[in-house]
Chains A and B, each alone.
Chain A
Amino acid sequence: MLRCAWVLLALVVTGCSEAPPAPAPKPMPSKLEGMWSDPPPTAVGTLCFFACTDAAIERLNALLDDPKNDARPFPQLAAEAQKHQTDNYLRPRLTEAALKTYPLDPADDPGFLRCEPWGLAKQMFAPHQLEIRRAGDDRIELRYGEWEAVRTVHVDGRAVPANVPPSRLGYSVGHFEGETLVVETSAVAPGITWWDSQHSDQFRVTERFTRSDDGETLNLTATIEDPWGLREPVVAKKIWRWAPNQKITPYDACEPATEFKKGTGEP
């Protein structure tokens, strides 16, 4: 019995002396950590619910400032601002190659047809929850409610390694500029953009995340490049609202489409 007690004591001491708990990662040099979710219920927040550009925001503000539009329903004004964005900002930036299939039919969306998760070009603008967390001193995780997608951002100063094979969410490296988190991503497999155009594996994006002065919103400015699909970069915006009580729930009940009609997208 005494021998057993000694053995047990030795095991306990050994166990305690081994593997001290990992130190908590250093906090970020900004207040981005935590849970964010859908934008504030403002006109611009709603316009940019998925993503938008300054072209749409300026157009919407002009429409809202015109008394002639006071009686028109907001969705109509937002649709007009989005059409302005499509006609005057997005479409002129697309190359002939991208224009051949633009806009893609929503009935051909692999997420709809086969429950295939989004690629980065849509995922980074996904509606609903976005949780930003340190996952060690050398990386930050971006966790999205939509598709339960997780992106890893390496913040140890490395560059994107050469010959990284393209993947759905690409390879991300990041750094802080003051309180702004700057994330650069490349090695993204061909996919679909948030404006329903195809993109190539030359797609790359620089995301700049900042928290508003009052702490209530997270603002993203994303500069998107793709020599195959874009004549010049698209600069997109998105807003999330601070949502500490929100949580990411399982995304496990997707069912492939069984009945649908083609040709129902925007003209």
Chain B
Amino acid sequence: MRRFRVGSAFRRTALLCMLILLALAVTPVASHHAFSPVYDAKKTIVVEGVVTQFRFVNPHAMMLMDVTDKKTGKVVKWNVEFAGRLNLEEAGWTADSIKPGELVKVTGNPTWTGSQRMAFVKLVRADGTTLEPGRAQRLSAIEEERRQRAKQREQQPAQQATPEK
């Protein structure tokens, strides 16, 4: 099993994850229940393995993956919990967004108990393409709105200072 703690090699990823995790605090994507009783949103882990099943269901989509410990060769089943299909479809996901047999690296929040289970934050496929939750797109749109707002704010004093003709 390869299990990476956030460290120097993952600093940039960790920063991105932190921003996404902050989004979790205000964007209730957890559908039918809060994630906080199960997952520690302040921590992230990264697990690499082969997808064995992706269930595109409500209230939460689930993915099973086989994770091989490179030292012992032992295979451990990991379970990744996502927002629900209702939510993921809004972001353009389908039942084929994750396919069995794919080698993936998944970033997620660990459980409080340290079990082989995580709440999805980001997935990177072997070809480098990524899957992110819809809230990442939402945050990007909000940042653009904030830039426009700041621009308007900067222009307002100049307009007010312009003497009337």
Which residues of A pack against B, CB within 8 Å? Answer: 37-38, 41-43, 46-47, 49-50, 64-65, 67, 70, 73-76, 78-79, 82, 105-107, 109, 111-112, 115, 118, 127-129, 145-147, 243, 246-254, 257, 259-262, 264-265
Contact = CB atoms under 8 A, between A and B. Distances in A.
B34 interface: yes
B146 A43 contact: yes
A50 B28 contact: yes
Interface stretch (B6-14, B96-104, B110-118): B110-118
Interface in B85-115: 85-87, 89-90, 111-113, 115
Contacts of A253: 55, 57-60, 62
B96 to A, nearest CB: 15
Given A75-B25, A76-B22, A79-B26, A43 B142 contact: yes
Given A49-B28, A50-B28, A145 B86 contact: yes
Contacts of A265: 34, 36
11 contacts: A49-B28, A73-B19, A78-B25, A82-B26, A112-B33, A128-B84, A128-B87, A145-B86, A250-B58, A251-B58, A252-B57
B23 to A, nearest CB: 5
Interface in B39-78: 55, 57-60, 62
A43 B145 contact: yes
Nearest to A81: B26
Contacts of B55: 253
B37 A41 contact: no
Given A75-B25, A107-B37, A254-B32, A42 B89 contact: no
Contacts of A106: 33-34, 36-37
A95 B112 CA distance: 34
A78 B139 CA distance: 12
Given A65-B153, A128-B87, A252-B57, A111 B22 contact: no
B131 interface: no
Contacts of A146: 31-32, 59, 86
- Chain A interface SS verdict (over half): loop
Nearest to A43: B142
B134 to A, nearest CB: 8
Closest 9 CB pairs of A and B: A112-B33, A75-B22, A41-B141, A253-B57, A107-B37, A260-B37, A264-B36, A106-B34, A78-B26
Given A41-B137, A74-B142, A79 B31 contact: no
Interface of B: 19, 22-29, 31-34, 36-38, 55, 57-60, 62, 84-87, 89-90, 111-113, 115, 117, 137-139, 141-143, 145-146, 149-150, 153
Contacts of A109: 33-34
Contacts of B150: 67, 70
B157 to A, nearest CB: 11
Contacts of A252: 57-58
Contacts of A37: 90
B149 A64 contact: yes
B145 to A, nearest CB: 6
A73 B28 contact: no
Contacts of B153: 65, 67
B86 A47 contact: no
Contacts of A46: 26-27, 138, 142
Contacts of B87: 38, 127-128
Contacts of A111: 32-33
Given A76-B22, A107-B37, 16 more contacts: A41-B137, A42-B145, A47-B26, A73-B22, A74-B23, A75-B139, A111-B33, A112-B34, A127-B29, A250-B57, A251-B86, A253-B55, A253-B57, A259-B112, A261-B37, A265-B36
